[in-house]
């Protein structure tokens, strides 16, 4: 991979030029490959599990109706894999950027590397590059962006473009063109939350496809704007009223951002996880109890959690995954917050208690966000007794990570949900990338 500067003395380096330089010169260790393989496994397991869902079946019906006998173009396959990956709400999450990198980056890498027969270390380096680009842009957009725009959708194309640029052996100027055209395709609004529409899955698929296509075009000489981020008609001006451009290139010597990314243990919006974690502890502390003994449940959290997940009544499985009220009630009532905790029967069982869950914004969680995603849960019984616990971070965060066995167990659970007949071959094959092995055959479609 050629590493060159793209500026001259009279042309200051743009943010995308600096980002390409930062990523190209960042060293990769065997430990980085090992962790990247685990994150790749998590995304692959989510993709295969996502097929077993109503939106997944719609996507597969669409795919089969448009299929031909030829190998699909990588960008089209990346769209499908990205959309499937983001369905079950069990994919990874980078807190500071509020981006789900895996559902955008891994599909783009997999679709392209599968066609190119890329060896494992290059696959994982591309994954590291993609996570770095999308999260660094995400950390710079500012909190106001997230109130209207879905960061995974808007920042994701930068990640898929940067990952594909490595696989396509683009030099620095070509990679800048790829990022410029990827960023020009940034889109994705939160409006779907009002009705629980399937739009969120399209966001991940489009972000994976857009960046890959931008990189592929750059390989043929198609140019893009170097100042797509900070330009007068660029991304920050258009959609980020409180952007923090300095975050794009901040702390260049920090560990790869993939290693700052959280893994979800529960199939719901990550904003609900600190409260689930706290409520599970309270369930154990309370022992056997009747739900009618609970007068109310207080949940202290940060503003973004309420913006996205303040939903006292959940009329669908998807709405329940974006409800602090349902997820906390489920964590108090059920032994496991798993896929079954969101079905119609479980929603009915939790509905009464969910109406007594009162989320509120409070310190220290308000100020700690987005660096730390924490919560407080307090159960108040009818007799006046109170039980409380707090979380500075959630299970699966870098400060409370899932270990190797936990990650493999989660993959096994997802692959079983997806009906994969030989999950061990998928797990061993993906983890083998860290030893520079070949991509396993997913037999996805």
Do 409 and 353 reside in the same domain of the chain? Answer: no
The pLDDT of residue 3: 44
**Residue carrying the six token digits 């920042």:** 155
Residue 8 lies in a domain: no
Do 25 and 149 reside in the same domain of the chain? Answer: yes
pLDDT at position 193 over 90: no
Residue 428 lies in a domain: yes
Give the number of C-alpha atoms closer than 13 A to the C-alpha of residue 393, restricted to the C-beta side: 19
SS3 of residue 8 by DSSP: coil
Q: Are strands 357-361 and 375-381 parallel, antiparallel or unpaired?
A: unpaired
192-198 mean pLDDT: 90
Do 383 and 412 reside in the same domain of the chain? Answer: no
pTM of the predicted protein model: 0.90
Our count of domains for the chain comes to 2
The pLDDT of residue 445: 46
**Residue carrying the six token digits 């966000």:** 369
> Model confidence over 127-144: pLDDT tens digits?
999 999 999 999 999 999
Do 210 and 334 reside in the same domain of the chain? Answer: no
The pLDDT of residue 444: 54
Confidence at 7, pLDDT banded by 50, 70, 90: very low
> Model confidence over 335-361: pLDDT tens digits?
999 999 999 999 999 999 999 999 999
Do 134 and 231 reside in the same domain of the chain? Answer: yes
Residue 444 lies in a domain: no
> Model confidence over 243-273: pLDDT tens digits?
999 999 999 999 999 999 999 999 999 999 9
Complete edge-to-edge strand list for the sheet that includes strand 294-301: 357-361, 294-301, 375-381, 386-391
> Model confidence over 227-248: pLDDT tens digits?
999 999 999 999 999 999 999 9
Do 347 and 282 reside in the same domain of the chain? Answer: yes
Confidence at 45, pLDDT banded by 50, 70, 90: very high
From the centroid of its chain, how far is CA 299?
24
Give the number of C-alpha atoms closer than 13 A to the C-alpha of residue 352, restricted to the C-beta side: 8
pLDDT at position 11 over 80: no
The pLDDT of residue 304: 94
Average pLDDT score, the chain = 95
Do 139 and 166 reside in the same domain of the chain? Answer: yes
Tokens coding 190: 């939160």
Tokens coding 63: 């795919």
Do 43 and 142 reside in the same domain of the chain? Answer: yes
pLDDT at position 4 over 50: no
Q: Which domain holds residue 127?
A: 15-264+401-435
Output the domain CATH number for residue 243: 1.10.4100.10
Give the integer Cα–Cα distance in Å for 440 and 140.
36
């Amino acid at each position: 991979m050629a590493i060159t500067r793209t500026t001259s003395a009279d042309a200051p380096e743009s943010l995308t030029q600096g980002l390409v330089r930062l990523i190209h010169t960042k060293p990769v260790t065997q430990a980085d490959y090992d962790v990247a393989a685990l994150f790749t496994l998590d995304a692959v397991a989510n993709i295969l599990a996502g097929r077993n869902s109503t939106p997944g079946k719609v996507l597969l019906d669409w795919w089969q109706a448009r299929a031909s006998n030829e190998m699909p173009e990588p960008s089209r396959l990346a769209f499908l894999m990205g959309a499937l990956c983001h369905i079950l709400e069990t994919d990874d999450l980078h807190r500071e950027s509020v981006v789900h990198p895996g559902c955008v980056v891994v599909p783009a890498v997999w679709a392209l590397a599968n066609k190119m027969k890329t060896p494992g270390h290059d696959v994982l380096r591309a994954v590291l590059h993609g996570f770095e680009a999308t999260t660094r842009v995400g950390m710079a957009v500012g909190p106001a962006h997230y109130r209207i725009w879905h960061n995974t959708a808007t920042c994701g194309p930068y990640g898929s473009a940067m990952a594909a640029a490595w696989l396509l052996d683009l030099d620095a100027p070509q990679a800048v063109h790829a990022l410029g055209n990827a960023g020009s395709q940034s889109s994705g609004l939160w409006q779907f939350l009002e009705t629980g529409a399937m739009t969120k899955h399209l966001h991940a698929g489009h972000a994976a496809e857009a960046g890959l296509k931008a990189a592929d075009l750059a390989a043929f000489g198609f140019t893009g704007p170097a100042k797509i981020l900070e330009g007068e008609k660029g991304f920050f001006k258009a959609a980020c009223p409180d952007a923090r451009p300095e975050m794009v290139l901040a702390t260049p010597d920090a560990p790869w951002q993939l290693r700052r990314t959280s893994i979800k243990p529960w199939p719901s919006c990550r904003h609900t996880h600190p409260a689930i974690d706290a409520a599970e502890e309270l369930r154990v502390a309370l022992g056997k109890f009747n739900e009618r003994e609970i007068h109310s449940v207080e949940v202290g959290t940060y503003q973004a959690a309420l913006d996205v997940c303040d939903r006292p009544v959940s009329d669908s499985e998807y709405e329940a995954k974006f409800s602090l009220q349902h997820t906390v009630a489920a964590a108090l009532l059920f032994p496991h917050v798993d896929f079954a905790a969101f079905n119609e029967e479980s929603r009915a069982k939790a509905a009464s208690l969910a109406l007594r869950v009162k989320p509120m914004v409070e310190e220290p969680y308000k100020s700690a966000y987005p660096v730390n995603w924490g919560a407080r849960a307090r159960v108040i019984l009818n007799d006046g007794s109170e039980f409380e616990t707090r979380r500075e971070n959630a299970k699966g965060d870098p400060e409370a990570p899932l270990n190797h066995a936990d990650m493999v167990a989660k993959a096994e659970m997802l692959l079983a949900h997806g009906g994969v007949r030989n999950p061990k071959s998928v797990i061993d094959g993906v983890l083998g990338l860290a030893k520079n092995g070949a991509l396993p055959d997913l037999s996805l479609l």
